[in-house]
Amino acid sequence: MDIIKNLNKGVGAAATAIIIIGGTPQVVHAATVDKPNVIEAKQISKSMEKEIMDESPVQKIKIQALKLNKDEPSMAGQYIENEVTYTEENGRTYCSLKILASDWMNDIKVKVNDSEVKCQLKDIGKTEVFGAEHKGAILKFEVPKVNPDIKLNMFVVPMNSKVTFRIVGEENKKTDKENNKKETNTNSKKNDVVSEQNNKDNTEKVKDNEVKNEDTQKKEEKIEAKDSSKEKVFDNLENGVYTLTFRAYKIENPAEDSMLNNFFDKKAKLEVKDGKKTITFLNTCFADGLYDFRIETNKIFKESEINDYGNKNPDTEKYPAKLFKMEIDDLDSDHKGCVLAGPMGGKLSDYGKVTYDKANNYKTVMFKFNKDFVKGWNGFDSSESILKQNDNGNLNKALIEIGLDTDKDGTVSVKELSEAKGKIDLSKKKITDISQLKALGPEVTELDLSGNRIEQLPKGIFDNLTQLTYLDLRVNKIKELPDGIFDKLVNLKKVYLERNKLETLPKGVFDKLVNLETVVLATNNIKHLDDDVFKNNKKLKFVDVSQNEINSIPTSMLELNDLETLCAKQNRIEAIPESLTKLKNLTWLDLASNYIEEIPKEILNSKNNVKYLYLAENMLKEVPNKIFEAFPKVNSYDFVFNNLKTIPKAPEGTKKTINALPQKSTMNLKLESKDGEIKWNEDLSAFDILAWQRTIHSILGEKMPENVEEYKKHLNGKTALELLNKEGYEPKLKIIIQKKDKDGKFKTIKEIINDGNGSTVGSIKDPEMKANDEYRILEELRTNFYGDNQYVFTNVAHAKVEESKKNLKSTSNKQKENNKNSKENKIDDSLNKADQPNEKKKEQDKREQQNKVTNAESKSNKKATSIKEKKLPQTGMPFGSGLLATLGSAISGMGVVLMRKNRKKK
């Protein structure tokens, strides 16, 4: 298509792509040569969308996004267009669906008639959802016919989880070629299907609006009320509790329901006391991301009373629901409501910033209270399911569910466990105690205990599983591994311990696992790995120790000849081992987010087989161009967030891309320790570096700033925080001041949180500071992106306390005094030896010394008279060096005599 060619020509050989990996946006910039032309984003979006949609149109059909197993609207439907287009190309039929927030949807998979199909995702530029700016795309895939069964599965960033939902056609529309013709009746069978679906939907709505079931009708008193907008039915309610229902609808289109209906329980609790009316709503969806909810009274949004509801999830430490309680007058009239929600582009920092006429980042909606209310209250419809949501699971029940209760007596016995075979999947059962599994027998080959609430592994729990090849313990709460916990698992090939609370590993924990091929220890709190931790695991191919606190790569890991993947990102590793060159089969090396300052020459001078290399967010000061010779199979290099002064250039004629902007070196972070005070300053803040990277959209024709001056032009008079907030980022900077202890380890002495300003200076006091003390500052940047907490980078600077000039002068004087004392001691020693001769010798020495003193005094007096009479010169000495020598000799002689006299007195 011409527009694609023009776009490519305008923004360079390869445009910047925004990729979301595990919920974290990463901006990957391709190398460009020519300065890109500025292309209007809206024009690109409309043109691309039009060209995609206009390819041999067959039909446009209105759709609904429904939950996978229920005929209820899916939340994901708010982020896709409510219409799909079917086109014919080369005799094949394709479906095109517009996604309104492709930056929030990752790893999209499509199933047509329950078979997964290949799909294409084409960017169309900026879109808007709930007033928040997003990036749009067209999802295109092949279908066997128009309006088939379609299911979409994707990772949704605000929810931090995967979502599956159905795309259901509501009605068939005429082809674009027939747009100017009169409408004709569509196929009656299709109408019947649509009619049946519509009737089903309407039936569901009626059921939802009915408040009372058979039980409540027997117990509660029904108050007759005609649904008339003019009739006042709430004015004269007596004191008590009532059950209400309500409807939330769009302000711009009162006939259309708001998605907010899906955020709350269908019932609301009304309390009346002396004419005062208080209503409580139960938020059941995205409770963690719904920051605020208010309904105005007399055009004023009073703050609601907010309380957590249900049992705290022990895995996430969050509650499943929230209660919002507020006072509302005149329930017979419609009221404006407002919500501040992460999934709708809201930020916690905007809490309370709303008025009737200016919503800011709140989203507004109209509320109508239905007049068929009921006196009495028997709870929210969702209460039971919410209250049970975080209960601990039952191991026996889980074992029955997977078919191990072979005699159907309701209990899984020791004998039944011992006869279990093959794979045992007990994942995500909320299990806390697994001691019963000690009875599992040797015919079990795979055991999956992931996603539970296990805190402790009983000693010997796996001893009978001698044929086990796969053990999954990830996403639990295991704090330690008992000694010998894996010793009997001699056939184990894969072990997963990711996302637990491990701090240490017992000595020789993997020694018996000679067949081990995969070990994952990521996302724990491990501070150290013994050098010999993998000494017996020669078959290891995959090792992941990411997101821990280790400061070095174990030497035994560098002896693993079969190792293909090494992930050690987000640790405290300070150096790349030179012997890494021994790993000839290594194809994936991830050392991003560490404290590495240089790439060893041994590595640069050798050729590696690595295909994927990640060194972003380190402390690298230089990356020589030899990196391309050392890693010839790597096509994309990521050096962003380092301290590079010069960016390496890819060899000409290659398709290698380099992502290197921005660099932390532009911050110029400095630390000073002096006179009991630790001070720091920087030219750019960490917020600036984040704004530099995250607020430039190369896909829309924006050019990545290559220096500080260009970045400041990008700010255009605004602050970094203003740009970040507009994009949905809420950055938080943790400043950590550390001091090196006597063991050479840095210990934290102060932590400061900065989330409200871009200050680039600061200081703290240390009254115990002394000469040669060493300090360092860590600036750890994280950001909340629509409810998703992301780590960004850490910057580091060091300082050492120098001795003050006063101390240096004092030290110099002490040294001189010591030298003087040393000379006196030598003289003293010689005098001790001189005291040993007989008395005659002593008398002779005494006479000689007296004569010397007399002669010296006589010469001194004559010279003194001569000096007084002689005129002093303007420069230089007033006398020759001979006099100084004579005078010095005399004084020295006097000193010797005096010391001898003092010694005799003693």
Tell me the HSE value of 88 on the side-chain side, using a 13 A CA sphere: 8
Model pLDDT for residues 383-408, shown as the tens digit of each residue: 888 877 767 778 999 999 999 999 99
Task: Assess whether pLDDT exceeds 70 at residue 250.
Answer: yes
Task: Assess whether pLDDT exceeds 90 at residue 349.
Answer: no
Task: Assess whether pLDDT exceeds 70 at residue 887.
Answer: no
Between residues 472 and 654, which one has the greater pLDDT? 472
Between residues 665 and 831, which one has the greater pLDDT? 665
CB atoms within 10 A of CB 10: 15
∠ CA(758), CA(783), CA(760), 5° rounding?
20
Q: How confident is the model at residue 2 (pLDDT cuts 50, 70, 90)?
A: very low
Mean per-residue pLDDT for 501-515?
97
Separation of alpha carbons 444 and 465, rounded Å: 6
Model pLDDT for residues 61-92, shown as the tens digit of each residue: 988 888 887 777 777 777 888 889 999 988 89
Model pLDDT for residues 289-338, shown as the tens digit of each residue: 899 999 999 999 999 999 999 988 877 778 889 999 999 999 999 999 99
Q: How confident is the model at residue 879 (pLDDT cuts 50, 70, 90)?
A: very low
Please measure the distance between the N-terminal and C-terminal CA atoms of the chain and give it in whole angstroms.
111
Fold of 222-388: Immunoglobulin-like (2.60.40)
Mean per-residue pLDDT for 540-566?
96
DSSP letter (8 states) at residue 712: H
Q: Which tokens go with 901? A: 């006299």
Separation of alpha carbons 118 and 109, rounded Å: 8
Please give the pLDDT value at position 256: 87
Identify which of 537, 393, 535, 388 has the alpha carbon closest to the alpha carbon of residue 451: 393
In sequence order, what DSSP letters do the residues of 420-471 get, joined into one string?
--EEEE-TTS-----GGGGG--TTEEEEE-TTS------TTTTTT-TT--EE
Residue with the two structure tokens 């990996």: 21
Do 294 and 251 contact (CB within 8 A), yes or no? no
Q: Residue 324 carries which side chain, given as an amino acid letter?
A: F
Q: How confident is the model at residue 216 (pLDDT cuts 50, 70, 90)?
A: very low
Separation of alpha carbons 834 and 831, rounded Å: 5
Model pLDDT for residues 144-200, shown as the tens digit of each residue: 999 899 999 887 765 556 788 899 986 543 433 343 343 334 444 444 443 444 444
Q: Residue 273 carries which side chain, given as an amino acid letter?
A: K
- Which residues, listed in sequence order, are joined to residue 247 by a DSSP beta bridge? 368
CB atoms within 10 A of CB 846: 13
Task: Assess whether pLDDT exceeds 80 at residue 533.
Answer: yes
Report field, pTM of the whole predicted structure over 0.75: no
Model pLDDT for residues 88-108, shown as the tens digit of each residue: 988 899 999 999 888 778 788
- The rounded radius of gyration (Å) of the Cα atoms in the chain is 40
Task: Assess whether pLDDT exceeds 60 at residue 818.
Answer: no
Q: How confident is the model at residue 44 (pLDDT cuts 50, 70, 90)?
A: very low
Q: Which tokens go with 709? A: 């001056």
Q: In this predicted structure, which of 55-69, 151-165, 588-602, 872-886 has the lowest mean pLDDT?
A: 872-886
Residue 285, Ramachandran bin (φ over 0: left; ψ between -120 and 50: alpha; else beta)? beta
Task: Assess whether pLDDT exceeds 60 at residue 649.
Answer: yes
Please give the pLDDT value at position 816: 55
Q: Which tokens go with 683? A: 């030219």
Task: Assess whether pLDDT exceeds 70 at residue 58.
Answer: no
Contacts of 317 (CB under 8 A, 6+ apart): none
Angle subtended by helix axes 2-11 and 41-53, to nearest 10: 150
Q: What percentage of the chain's residues is helix, strand, coil (to nearest 5)?
A: 25, 30, 45
Do 424 and 445 contact (CB within 8 A), yes or no? no
Q: How confident is the model at residue 804 (pLDDT cuts 50, 70, 90)?
A: low
* Pairing verdict, β 565-567 and 542-544: parallel
Contacts of 560 (CB under 8 A, 6+ apart): 534, 537, 538, 540, 543, 583
Q: Domain coordinates of the chain in residue numbers? A: 40-178+189-207, 222-388, 670-800, 837-905
Separation of alpha carbons 690 and 891, rounded Å: 74
Q: Which tokens go with 584? A: 């000839």
Q: Which tokens go with 425? A: 């999947």
Q: In this predicted structure, which of 13-22, 57-66, 558-567 has the lowest mean pLDDT?
A: 13-22
Residue with the two structure tokens 């989330």: 755
Between residues 342 and 792, which one has the greater pLDDT? 792
Q: Which tokens go with 788? A: 């998703």
Separation of alpha carbons 902 and 49, rounded Å: 108
Task: Assess whether pLDDT exceeds 90 at residue 861.
Answer: no
Task: Assess whether pLDDT exceeds 60 at residue 483.
Answer: yes
Q: How confident is the model at residue 209 (pLDDT cuts 50, 70, 90)?
A: very low
Separation of alpha carbons 669 and 777, rounded Å: 9
* pLDDT, averaged across the chain: 79
Domains 40-178+189-207 and 222-388 share a fold: yes
Tell me the HSE value of 519 on the side-chain side, using a 13 A CA sphere: 22
CATH architecture assignment, domain 40-178+189-207:
Sandwich (2.60)
Do 79 and 155 contact (CB within 8 A), yes or no? no
In sequence order, what DSSP letters do the residues of 122-173 get, joined into one string?
EEEEEEEETTEEEEEEEEEEEESSSS--EEEEEEETTTTEEEEEEEEEEEE-
* Pairing verdict, β 335-341 and 363-369: antiparallel
% of the chain exceeding 70 in pLDDT: 73
Tell me the HSE value of 69 on the side-chain side, using a 13 A CA sphere: 1
Please give the pLDDT value at position 90: 87
